[in-house]
Amino acid sequence: MIDFLTQLAANPVVTNALWPAFLETLLMVGVSGVATVVLGLPVGVVLFVTQPGGLAHNRPVNVVLGSVGVNITRSVPYAILMLSLVPFTRWIVGTSIGPIAASVSLTIAAVPFFARLVEAALREVAPGKVDAAHVMGSTRFQTVWKVLLPEAAPALVAGVTTTVVTLIGYSAMAGLIGGGGLGRLAYNYGYQRFQPDVMVLILVILVVLVQLVQWAGDAVVSKVDHR
Amino acid sequence: MIAVTDLKKVYRQATREVRALDGVALTVPDNSVHGVIGQSGAGKSTLVRCIALLDRPTSGVVEVNGTDLTAVRSADLRRARRRLGVVFQHANLFDSRTVADNVAYPLELAGVGRAERASRAAELLGLVGLAENADAHPAQLSGGQRQRVGIARALATDPDVLLCDEPTSALDPATTGEILDLIAALKARLGLAVLVITHEMTVVKRICDSVSLLEDGRVVESGPLTEVVGAFGSRLSESLLALPPAAGADSAEGGTVEVLDVGRDGELSALTTASRHFGVDFPVVAATVERLAGTTFGRWRVQVLPPLSPDEVVGYFSANGVQAGVTATTGSVR
At B329, the pLDDT band (50, 70, 90 cuts) reads low
Q: Which residues of B touch A142 (CB under 8 A)?
A: 109
How confident is the prediction for chain A on average, in pLDDT?
90
* CA angle at A158 for the pair A131 and A59, rounded to the nearest 5°: 45
> Nearest 5°: phi and psi at B286?
-155, 150
Q: How many CB pairs under 8 A join A and B?
A: 62
Peptide bond between residue B307 and the one before it cis (omega within 30 degrees of 0): yes
pTM of the prediction? 0.87
Q: Does B94 touch chain A (CB under 8 A)?
A: yes
Which residues have C-beta within 8 Å of that of residue A203, sequence separation ≥ 6? A186
Q: Which CATH architecture has domain B2-235?
A: 3-Layer(aba) Sandwich (3.40)
Q: Which of A187, A181, A177, A152 minimizes the C-alpha distance to A167?
A: A181
Hey, where are the domains in chain A? 2-222
At B247, the pLDDT band (50, 70, 90 cuts) reads low
Across A188-196, average pLDDT:
82
Q: Which of B161, B168, B245, B244 minimizes the C-alpha distance to B202?
A: B168
Q: Does B137 touch chain A (CB under 8 A)?
A: yes
Across B184-198, average pLDDT:
94
Distance from CA of B146 to the nearest CA of A (A): 13
* Closest chain A residue to B139, measured at CA: A227
Which residues have C-beta within 8 Å of that of residue B270, sequence separation ≥ 6? B259, B261, B298, B317, B320, B322
The boundaries of every CATH 3.40.50.300 domain in chain B are: 2-235
Among A135, A138, A146, most B C-beta atoms within 10 A, so best to mutate, is A135
Q: Which residues of A touch B110 (CB under 8 A)?
A: 137
Residue B294 has pLDDT above 90, yes or no: no
Across B198-211, average pLDDT:
92
Across B39-58, average pLDDT:
90
Where are the alpha helices (H) located in chain A, listed in sequence order? Answer: 2-10, 12, 18-49, 59-63, 72-75, 78-84, 86-93, 99-123, 127-135, 140-142, 149-151, 153-174, 181-185, 196-224
Half-sphere exposure of B71 (CA within 13 A, CB side): 8
ipTM of the complex model: 0.86
Residue A175 has pLDDT above 70, yes or no: yes
Question: What's the pLDDT at A160?
Answer: 97
Question: What's the pLDDT at B334?
Answer: 38
Query: Could you give the angle at which helices B143-154 and B99-109 cross, rounded to 10 degrees?
Result: 20
Residue A124 has pLDDT above 70, yes or no: yes
Q: Does A155 touch chain B (CB under 8 A)?
A: no
The boundaries of every CATH 3.30.70.260 domain in chain B are: 244-329
Across B133-142, average pLDDT:
94
Q: Which residues of A touch B94 (CB under 8 A)?
A: 129, 132, 147, 150-151
Question: What's the pLDDT at A167?
Answer: 94
Domain range A2-222, CATH class: mainly alpha
Report the topology of domain B244-329: Alpha-Beta Plaits (3.30.70)
Collapsing DSSP to helix, strand or coil, A147 comes out as helix
Q: Does A147 touch chain B (CB under 8 A)?
A: yes
